Amino acid sequence: MASVLGNTRLNKDIPLKVEKKIRQIFNKDEVFNPYSFMFSKLENKKVIIDASKAYPWIGEKIQAEEFTSGKVEAYLIHLVRDGRAVVNSYLRKYPHWDMAKMATEWVEKYKLRNDFFEKFNPEKRIEIAYEQLASNPDKTVEKICNFVGINFVPSMIEYWQYDHYDISGNEGAYSLIRRYKGQEIEYDARRKIHGDYYKNMDLTIKLDLRWQRELSPEKLEVFEDIAGKANKPFEWN
């Protein structure tokens, strides 16, 4: 939604950059400030969680007037994970991919994302380890709540009870939400990739360490040679 609202030309005959400037002058630029627009439609809401993972996209959005003026504040939550688990997730989906290629790509992406994180306002950024979140969700979510300035409520942990909009990129999150709502669907593609892993899960947050049994010693050695140093801060053994 933010992408559509923030980059939509309303008048096909006027360049987007020009239209934005004109609307800003006449204080008619709500559509180009999507988060302000969303806040205006929500009652008693202080925080909007945008789960976007592409740092270039995030960098572009926070250049909007609503952020530069201070009307909306941006807080960055950097969720990190043991690189071995990350590459294993990809190799599970694409078993024909090469471990050396995957490890190299992981290092390159890690460096770019970490550079973006380090340049973000230190007072408005936080790094959270997935493994810590899954192992101790109450304590970790409370830490995040304190970071963004809202009260922690224990029922937050049972996120599947609530409505969500466009959750993407996490089959586990989707699975628990669907199961709670009685909408669980067995997809052949998902079963081929994950087997019965999600089907056998209870309604709970569970630490996923499948990489420890799915990655062969040979693949682990290749990863260590290429990405071991970069992965050191994220190791979870």
Q: List, in order of start, the domains of the chain with CATH numbers.
A: 1-74 (no CATH), 76-158+203-237 (3.40.50.300)
Instruction: From 111, 112, 148, select the one nearest 128 (Cα to Cα).
Output: 148
- Is the confidence at residue 6, as pLDDT, over 60? no
- What is the distance of C-alpha 80 from the center of its chain? 10
- Is the confidence at residue 1, as pLDDT, over 50? no
Number of other residues whose CB lies within 10 A of the CB of residue 33: 24
- As a whole number of angstroms, the distance between CA 83 and CA 110 comes to 9
**Which tens digits make up the pLDDT trace of 60-71?**
889 888 999 999
Element (DSSP H or E) covering residue 78: strand 76-80
pLDDT (average), residues 86-105: 93
- As a whole number of angstroms, the distance between CA 19 and CA 6 comes to 12
Phi-psi sector, 156: left (phi>0), alpha (psi -120 to 50), beta: alpha
**Which tens digits make up the pLDDT trace of 121-164?**
999 999 999 999 999 999 999 999 999 999 999 999 887 787 76
Report the predicted TM-score, pTM, of the whole model to 2 decimal places: 0.77
Phi-psi sector, 178: left (phi>0), alpha (psi -120 to 50), beta: alpha
